[in-house]
Structure formats: C-alpha cells, structure tokens
Amino acid sequence: MRLFYAIFLPEEVKRALVEAQERVARYKGWKEVVPHQLHLTLLFLGERPEGDLPDLLALGHRLGRLHPPFTARIRGTGYFPNEGTPRVWFAKVEGEGFVPLAEGLREGVRELLGEEALWAGGDKPFKPHITLARRKAPAPRVPPVVFGVEWPVTEFALVRSELKPKGPVYTILEKFPLRGDHGREQEESAGKRPQDH
C-alpha cells in the first residue's frame, strides 16, 4: 500500500487556498489539487507492505505523545523548482512544530524499517508546503499570492493513497493527536486522586 504521513487542513484554511487556486484555474496547463485533498506531507513512504502498518501506527502515536500542538502560518506561494519550468505551485507554510515532527518520523521509520523505507521520499530537505496545483502542460507562472492564514495543528495522520485514473484517492488510516508535555501531565494527573486544599 502507498502511504504517507500528513497534516490535513481546517475548512477555513482550505477556503483561503481554494480562492488562491482560482489564479491558475484560467490556465489549462495547471491542474489544481481538489479541496478535500489539500494537505501538508510530513513524510512520503511510497509502497509499503501491509505488515509495516503496526510499526507505522505505533510510531505515529509515540510521536503524538512527544510533540505538543503548535500554530501553523501560510504567508505566500512558491514553485518547485524555483528556477526554470515549474512543475508544482505551492503555499509556503511556517510553524515551529513541522520540522521536529517530520524529522522524528524520518528517524523513527529509519529505526523501525531501515534506511530503504525512506528512499521513496527522496533525500531533499523537508520544506513545509501545501501543493496547490501541478503543471501538466505549458502554462505561465502566476504572480505571488499573499496570505494571512493561521491555524492550530493538533494532529497528524497516516494516509493511504490509491492511484486511480481520475486522480489519487486518500484514505486516512489513523489520526495521531499532538499532546506533548501537556498531554503527559494530563495522563499523570488523571492517575492521581484529587487532594484537599
């Protein structure tokens, strides 16, 4: 099964991105990502045997317990590659929790499944982004779009991607709440009897 870890977006964020996508909708060469599939990929795993699932789910829960929620921000847009003919138009995303979470997943997968399990994602540095459109044929670049969007990131997910003739179909296999230290404190306090004051 084709798998990746990702963060999906609240409706108000998707609405802002869909408005931006209207900039490329006028050009036939660009194909927009459909709103319900807009997401930020933390780690792409490619095809993995079903037997890897228990390890990948356990890793998601473990990292969710370690990492606290954080605020994500979208400020502008960019292209991959930045020079020459672009293939992808994306929204730039900032947030202090993205890199630690992505690196934790990468390290965890390496420990559990070996270096080979990371090959599908390539060796480029993690750059938080949300793909807005892919270029399928010659089409011009669109001017930059400026956003002022923020949202709290409280969970991430392990996702199955099935490639269909009309495009990929994503199925969320499991969500992992971000709890961090606050979550641990709640667990600990839940196990204690209330004290009189």
Helices (H), 50-179: 53-66, 98-113
Q: Which of 133, 164, 132 is nearest to 28 (CA)?
A: 133
Which of 36, 61, 129, 197 is catalytic? The answer is 129
Which of 36, 39, 67, 197 is catalytic? The answer is 39
Query: Which residues are CB-neighbours of 115 under 8 A, at least 6 positions away?
Result: none
129 is an active site residue: yes
Torsion from C-alpha of 141, 145, 150, 151, nearest 10 degrees:
-40
36 is an active site residue: no
As beta bridge partners, residue 160 has 3, 171
Indicate which residues carry an active-site annotation: 39, 129
